[in-house]
């Protein structure tokens, strides 16, 4: 009986321990630890924390990844610079609320959150469903009271709810840095961050060199990301005030994970998880086309990817600084002014529509004044080179003044902004004359095109009319042939086939021909209009009643002489009964002699 009682007690104790362990899978309390091979799992099984070895590396790292991602695409790494050489690592929390990563084999500290406090009653570390590992006091879930959070120390991945920018009070930078390689999560060469100088903008650097600029915020999106727009996956916002400046996106549905990653090669990529195929769909963000390379065209030039390969063009009033280099598509030195600015507070501005605004690191913003007031402010400063609206919402508002060389301007097909560039007054006259010349040239081109189209249409109409008449002539076999000759004054309608010698003077005409069998091309002249003694296939015999041209056969004077006065004439007569009879006569005879009677004849007449 005592043994049975002990068995019951042991069963309840084991159940309690199991339940306690299950309920605290997302939490590390004082005295607990996570060893290599164990995992911390967020409450809704969205994220996991554990140890891993990236790629071909044998080193062990503590990281966080999406639980459903079988490949463990790690979003955050604690000990990026200090891998653990064996599997003896473990993570714990001390009484001051600091997370500590140690090697059990040496007890050396590999990494620490370094947020010591002496006022904690019950320090705990919790892995949230957002992927944020936080330290708080007891059950305090207020984010404002977190003693430490992994979201303040970004690696190469931006997750939903992470701030990406800068705390202007504490100086905390929230930026992304690439891994060195797929095998080494240590910080690489590429960083993606918000530049708070001037009008804040987002830039991608390779070391200290800017290689891509997403641009400044225009109220709806960054000026260099025209395709960014509201969608079904996430919402986004940009905050800029006296205390902080940051960008953040929030997932609408946590079952559809999404992330932004800077790769070891410096590409900025957006990933969305596809449940059906259990993998990530990847889209490039930074390398859309050639014009996304920072300052590709140098200063005072714009880039248009539709004009490849010569994508760069100087702004109005500017000319290439190095024309020879420009001709071989090296635009590095950019453009310079043709005429210096006199700074007389009446300089004109050229408007450039639908562009990515230039680098705003040396600029000034007032969100409460109009575009008209903005122009006046720019004219009052000799160092102001251009101006634009700072916000595109509600037909535009706010004022952005630029005070340096204009760099990294790109022509956009959608969601571009208007930029007003300051030039010398003399450039306005040159531009007006050039635009007038271009307008005249356009008018001439359009006029020529319209005239050409008119000729084509007229030709088509004439062709269709002639074709219609031809078809009507072929189907009207009942029309009689009239003979204008004095010898055919009887009631019968005759088709005369006269014979003349080939040296008889005749004039061809392109006004029309008798339709006899199929009509050939309308040549300017053809031998078939002037037959001699031989009837060839396709040759027409008869009379054109419009031109009076007769097409008849004429005999040779002799076998040795094709010239001379015709010795024999012949004609066919078609009577009202439809019979055709052939008549001939010589030059010596005065009458016609009937040769034969034909039962039918294939003849056509055309008016």
Alpha-carbon span 158 to 175, nearest angstrom: 9
pLDDT at 544: 76
Alpha carbon separation from 596 to 15, 361, 496, 580 (Å, rounded): 129, 107, 15, 9
- What's the rounded Cα separation, in Å, for the pair 548 and 542? 10
- Domain ranges (residues) in the chain: 25-150, 154-288, 292-431, 476-607
3-state secondary structure of 417: strand
Instruction: Look at residue 101 and give its three-state secondary structure.
Output: strand
pLDDT digits (tens, 9 = 90+) for 471-523: 766 555 444 444 444 444 443 333 333 333 344 344 444 333 434 334 555 56
The pLDDT of residue 315 is 97
- Residue 15: its pLDDT value, please? 43
Residue entry with tokens 């992927």: 131
pLDDT of residue 534: 74
- Domain covering 154-288: architecture: Orthogonal Prism (2.90)
CB-based contacts of 223-228 (< 8 A; 24+ apart in sequence)? 223/356, 223/357, 223/416, 223/417, 224/292, 224/356, 224/410, 225/285, 226/356, 226/412, 226/413, 226/414, 226/415, 226/416, 227/414, 227/415
> Helix or strand or coil: residue 400?
strand
The confidence score (pLDDT) of residue 335 equals 98
The DSSP code sequence of 108-160 is: -EEEE-----S--SSEEEEE-TTS-EEEEETT---GGG-SEEGGGS--SEEET
Task: Summarize pLDDT for 67-117 with one digit per residue, the tens.
Answer: 999 888 999 999 999 999 999 999 999 999 999 999 988 889 999 997 766
Q: How far apart are CA 367 and CA 192, in angstroms?
A: 26
pLDDT at 588: 58
Place of tokens 């009964």: 577
Segment-wise mean pLDDT, segments of 10 residues, the chain, 607 residues: 45 40 73 96 96 96 95 95 96 94 91 78 94 90 90 98 97 97 98 97 97 96 93 94 97 91 95 92 85 97 95 97 96 96 90 97 96 96 97 95 97 96 88 55 67 77 75 54 43 37 40 42 70 74 73 70 58 53 60 56 44
Under CATH, to which class is 25-150 assigned?
Answer: mainly beta
pLDDT of residue 334: 98
Domain pair 25-150 / 154-288, same fold: yes
Which tokens sit at 441?
């040239």
Decide: pTM greater than 0.75. no
What is the per-residue pLDDT for 531? Answer: 77
For residues 46 and 131, the answer to whether their CB atoms sit within 8 Å is yes
| Cα(284)–Cα(281) distance, integer angstroms | 10
């Amino acid at each position: 009986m005592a043994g049975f009682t002990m068995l019951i007690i042991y069963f309840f104790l084991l159940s309690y321990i199991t339940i306690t362990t299950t309920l605290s899978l997302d939490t590390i309390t004082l005295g607990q630890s996570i060893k290599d091979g164990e995992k911390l799992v967020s409450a809704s099984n969205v994220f996991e924390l554990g140890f891993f070895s990236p790629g071909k590396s044998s080193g062990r790292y503590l990281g966080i990844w999406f639980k459903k991602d079988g490949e463990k695409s790690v979003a955050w790494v604690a000990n990026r610079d200090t891998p653990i050489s064996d599997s003896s690592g473990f993570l714990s929390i001390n009484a001051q609320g600091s997370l500590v990563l140690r090697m059990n084999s040496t007890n050396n500290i590999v990494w620490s959150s370094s947020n010591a406090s002496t006022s904690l009653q019950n320090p705990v570390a919790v892995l949230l469903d957002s992927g944020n590992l936080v330290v708080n006091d007891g059950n305090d879930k207020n984010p404002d009271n977190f003693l430490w959070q992994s979201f303040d120390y970004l690696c190469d991945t931006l997750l939903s709810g992470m701030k990406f920018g800068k705390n202007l009070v504490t100086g905390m930078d929230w930026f992304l840095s690439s891994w060195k390689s797929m095998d080494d999560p240590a910080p690489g060469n590429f960083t993606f961050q918000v530049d708070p100088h001037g009008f804040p903008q987002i830039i991608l650097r390779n070391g200290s060199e800017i290689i891509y600029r997403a641009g400044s915020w225009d109220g709806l999106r960054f000026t260099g990301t025209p395709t960014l727009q509201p969608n079904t996956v996430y919402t986004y916002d940009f905050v800029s005030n006296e205390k902080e400046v940051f960008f953040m996106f929030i997932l609408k549905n946590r079952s559809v994970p999404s992330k932004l990653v800077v790769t070891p090669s410096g590409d900025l990529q957006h990933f969305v998880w596809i449940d059906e195929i259990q993998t990530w769909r990847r889209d490039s963000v930074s390398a859309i086309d050639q014009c996304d390379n920072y300052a590709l065209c140098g200063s005072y030039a714009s880039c248009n990817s539709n004009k490849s390969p010569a994508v760069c063009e100087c702004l109005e009033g500017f000319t290439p600084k190095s024309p020879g280099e420009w001709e071989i598509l090296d635009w590095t030195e950019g453009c310079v002014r043709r005429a210096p600015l006199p700074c007389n507070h009446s300089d004109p501005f050229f408007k450039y529509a639908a562009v990515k605004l230039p680098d705003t690191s040396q600029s000034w913003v007032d969100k409460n004044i109009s575009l008209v007031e903005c122009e006046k402010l720019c004219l009052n400063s000799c160092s102001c080179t251009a101006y634009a609206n700072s916000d595109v919402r509600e037909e535009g508002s706010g004022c952005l003044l630029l005070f340096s060389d204009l760099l990294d301007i790109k022509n956009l097909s959608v969601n571009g902004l208007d930029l007003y560039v300051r030039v010398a007054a003399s450039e306005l006259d040159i531009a007006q004359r050039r635009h007038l010349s271009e307008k005249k040239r356009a008018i001439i081109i359009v006029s020529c095109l319209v005239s050409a189209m008119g000729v084509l249409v007229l030709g088509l109409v004439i062709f269709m009319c002639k074709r219609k008449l031809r078809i009507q002539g072929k189907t009207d076999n009942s029309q009689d042939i009239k003979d204008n000759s004095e010898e055919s004054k009887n009631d019968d309608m005759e088709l005369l086939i006269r014979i003349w010698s080939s040296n008889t003077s005749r004039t061809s005409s392109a006004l029309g021909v008798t339709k006899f069998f199929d009509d050939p091309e309308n040549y300017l002249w053809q031998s078939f209009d002037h037959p001699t003694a031989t009837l060839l296939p396709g040759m027409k015999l008869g009379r054109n009643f419009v031109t009076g041209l007769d097409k008849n056969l004429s005999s040779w004077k002799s076998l040795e002489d094709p010239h001379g006065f015709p010795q024999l004439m012949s004609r066919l007569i078609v009577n009202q009964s439809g019979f055709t009879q052939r008549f001939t006569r010589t030059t010596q005879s005065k009458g016609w002699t009937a040769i034969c009677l034909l039962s039918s004849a294939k003849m056509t007449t055309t008016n």
